[in-house]
Amino acid sequence: MSASPSNQQLIDFVVREARLLDQHRLEDWLDLFTEDGHYWMPLEQGQSDPRLTTSLMYEDKLLLKIRIERLRGKATYSQSPTSRCHHVLQIPQVDERDDQERRYVTWTPMHYVESRGDEQTLYAAWVTHHLTAVEGEIKIRLKRVDLVNCDSALGSIQLFV
């Protein structure tokens, strides 16, 4: 991709990202982030800053890597049996694009199912991807996952929404 990504390429990227998570290709998923990328799951509706208000998750690439290593670890008893997930996306929408600055924002309503053993949990969310183009590849600067019920008592989310 030498030119700016098309809207369809941005949409395809979001769909591919969800597929990598569903297939437990977590290292490939991590490679989609810029070196300064973040994964953010706000605790409050409309939360505007992850540093001034507690979040369910606010992790940089290093913390994401550590989480993946923990999930892959032999002594991770919370992963026996292994959790599985399934993302059901509505069609992602490109909300913003600035080709000159290589900044793109997509918004995707989705349902996410996480299953382990006999337990299955359904979450509904709106996902906002802040994307950029780095050396001809689309990368995630920020993935923001707004759970519909973020302010509810939630169980442990083992994987990545």
**What is the pTM for the complete model shown?**
0.90
- At 40 the pLDDT is 95
- Name the strand (E) or helix (H) holding 39: strand 33-42
CB neighbour class for 46 (10 Å; exposed up to 12, middle 13-18, buried from 19): exposed
Give the type of residue at 52.
Answer: L
Q: Select the more confidently predicted residue: 129 or 52.
A: 129
Q: Tell me the β-bridge partners of 84.
A: 115
- Alpha carbon distance 99, 152 (integer Å): 38
63-115: pLDDT as tens digits: 999 988 887 766 655 656 677 888 999 999 999 999 999 999 999 999 999 88
Q: How confident is the model at residue 143 (pLDDT cuts 50, 70, 90)?
A: very high
